[in-house]
Structure 1
Amino acid sequence: MRALLLYSALFLLMASCVGQEKPEENLPNLRALSLYEKELSQSSQAFAIDFFQQISNPSENQFYSPYSVQLALAMAMNGNVEEILEEYLEVLRFDNLDMEDANKAALELTQFLRDVDPKVKLNIANGIWYDQKLQVKAPFKQNMEHFYQANLEAADLRSPQTVQGINNWIDRQTQGLIKDMLDSISPDAVMLLVNAIYFKADWKFQFDKSLTSKKPFKLTNGGDVQVDMMRTKEAANIKTYNGNGFAYLEIPYSTGQYSMGVILPDGVGLEDIKQEITLSNLTTWRESAYETSVILEMPKFKMGYKIENLSEDLTDMGLRTPFVDHPENFTEVFETSGPLKISRVIHQALIEVDEKGTEAAAATIVEMEMTSMPAGPRTVTLDRPFIFFIQEKASGAMLFMGQLTDPGELGR
């Protein structure tokens, strides 16, 4: 199972509250990004595109958070030096950053994303559990606590209570959207690095529930399936760009600081457009998009997606050494231990889109184990497979990505 694009987050006032808010409270908390924050923003977008190209399967419904995967692996990166560190920097697309600047950028960009829109609920959290018989090196512990604001907990990793504790933590951080993600911990595991993201925002232009109705959604096989198709009551100013064989849309949340980006092919099917999705092209589409008055129709849907192990995909992307027996793996994590490697990377995400807005969450678990080695408004209808992502305007950061190919499969 593999995945596609999604990127955006939120900021909107309910109609009942508009008259009670001060005008300045409706504005985003924008500030200039530092050089390394800008570099990390570019890195996160580049990694998101790389990740999409690696795992996307145009015939599947998919949803995931490349930002969550990148942050979890960035924590793991801190346990390495020299050639292995360079692998992380290259695969995570930290092309112009060293580890120190990448850590600083992770802290400050995460804070920027949390604060940029006070009306958007965005939680980004990190947690680390490690074998209570081992001692974590002070520099690694300090980096995790300061730059990733992670709580490190010594635990009995063989205990079912630890599995439940990690699942409970993920449940809390994602507001109950991601439940029972971890089934068990490897008997050889010595550390688990966990990232969780939760996002909730209202649409800037609300859909009228009374206008939601059953309509056909075209399928790749030539058939169709009936879906609950939402419709805006009035024309909305949506940024759009018409490319060669596709349309790009930005559906805004609240003030428009966060949006849902959509790539809608002219025909049915995503295979042809997949290769066109590059960071360079995405930048062009964003810069070329202009506000257009449209009546927007789009499916109401809820999608969950889980990848049990990303190891092969990350290896194919170039992160090879951390997954094999190598004496230089994770030398900066513990004071004393045997050789270590990543045994698996688990990822799970969920999104719900309705007339009010979007709620989404994702979590990533990196499990580390001991090895055996030493005009008038036009109507736009999303009635065929499309790619979507949740993005932040100022930084360009892409928080979530996905594709909807067969809504009929979601409720089964």
Structure 2
Amino acid sequence: MSTRLVLVNAIYLKAPWEEPFEKTLTARGAFRRADGSTVPADLMRRPDVGARLTSGEGWRAVTLPYAGRRLAMTVVLPDDTDDDGAGAGLAGVERRLAADGLAVFTPTEDGGETTAVDLTLPRWTFRTAAPLREVLAGLGMPTAFTDAADFTPMTEEDLDLVVSEVLHQAFVAVDEEGTEAAAATAVVMTETSAPLTEAFVVDRPFLFVVHDVAHGAPLFVGRVIDPTA
């Protein structure tokens, strides 16, 4: 079997935070994995970042805008794991995600007021790959992967084309400046008052969504089980 056609769909994001983290505040700290063990991770800190906080049964979320405030990242932090360290908190949030969709976690432009948050967030980089053939067949398009497929409108030659594989790969890097190691930074000047802040410490497995602010449409969705892996 020879490859005759490859279709590629790509999305790339390189965005600085609206309020970047100070690199001098990044320090090593314990990140507790789902099995109860801990690993030393680079934990970024912003004592007074402007963000939106939301919460629901078994979870809290913080939404951080990127420069320009058209895109944002929402980090969904489950309540602590069960006593057996089985990671039931994260599993419960993922079940809620599967049942109700992302809109539960991602506020839009009218989704609440910005507040001052004392945020601690791990720095992480990961690359993941996933074959989607079985997933797409299960979602209702099995014919494309069989000899019954008909792709004749896509070619002028007398070829019997069939989809042999669908591969998905994602790369995400988050650091003090933004996502995908953005070189640009945004400088925000505010009054030198000291508002009350709410602590939000991300030191255990969590979900993240990079999304459009106006409509909540997701660009990237993922989970971080171990930011050092």
TM-score bucket of the superposed structures, by smaller chain: 0.7 to 0.9
AA aligned opposite 1:341: V
TM-score by length of 2: 0.83
Conservation of the 8 A alpha-carbon contact between 2:42 and 2:122: yes
**Alpha-carbon offset, residue 284 of structure 1:** 4.2
Q: Distance in 1 between matches of 2:95 and 2:11?
A: 28
AA aligned opposite 1:247: R
Task: Determine which of 206, 209, 215 is the counterpart of 1:389.
Answer: 209
Q: CA RMSD in A?
A: 1.9
Structure 2 partner of 1:243: 56
Q: Distance in 2 between matches of 1:284 and 1:351?
A: 23
Residues 2-401 of structure 1: matches in 2 within 5 Å?
187-232=1-46, 234-268=47-81, 269=87, 270-278=90-98, 280=100, 282-285=102-105, 286=107, 288-307=111-130, 309-326=131-148, 328-359=149-180, 376-401=196-221
More helix by share: 1
Structure 1 partner of 2:192: none
Residues 261-316 of structure 1: CA deviation (Å, up to 9, x unaligned): 11110123321111101584532442654422111110011111122x21011111
Percent identity between the aligned chains? 34
Conservation of the 8 A alpha-carbon contact between 2:64 and 2:74: yes
* 282 and 289 in structure 1: CA distance in 2 versus 1, 3 angstrom threshold: farther
Residues 49-96 of structure 1: CA deviation (Å, up to 9, x unaligned): xxxxxxxxxxxxxxxxxxxxxxxxxxxxxxxxxxxxxxxxxxxxxxxx
Q: Distance in 2 between matches of 1:290 and 1:279?
A: 26
Partner secondary structure for residue 152 of structure 2: coil
Partner secondary structure for residue 63 of structure 2: strand
More strand by share: 2
Q: Distance in 1 between matches of 2:104 and 2:77?
A: 16
Q: Unpaired segments of 5 or more residues in structure 1?
A: 1-186, 361-374
Q: Unpaired segments of 5 or more residues in structure 2?
A: 82-86, 182-194
Q: Distance in 1 between matches of 2:157 and 2:68?
A: 51
AA aligned opposite 2:160: P
AA aligned opposite 1:403: R
**Alpha-carbon offset, residue 215 of structure 1:** 0.6
Q: Distance in 2 between matches of 1:277 and 1:290?
A: 23
Mean Cα deviation higher: 328-337 or 213-222: 328-337
Partner secondary structure for residue 283 of structure 1: helix
Residues 367-407 of structure 1: CA deviation (Å, up to 9, x unaligned): xxxxxxxx720211110100111111124321111110012
**Alpha-carbon offset, residue 245 of structure 1:** 0.8
TM-score by length of 1: 0.47
AA aligned opposite 1:320: P
Q: Distance in 2 between matches of 1:197 and 1:284?
A: 24
Conservation of the 8 A alpha-carbon contact between 2:58 and 2:92: no
Q: Distance in 2 between matches of 1:284 and 1:201?
A: 24
Q: Distance in 1 between matches of 2:211 and 2:97?
A: 15
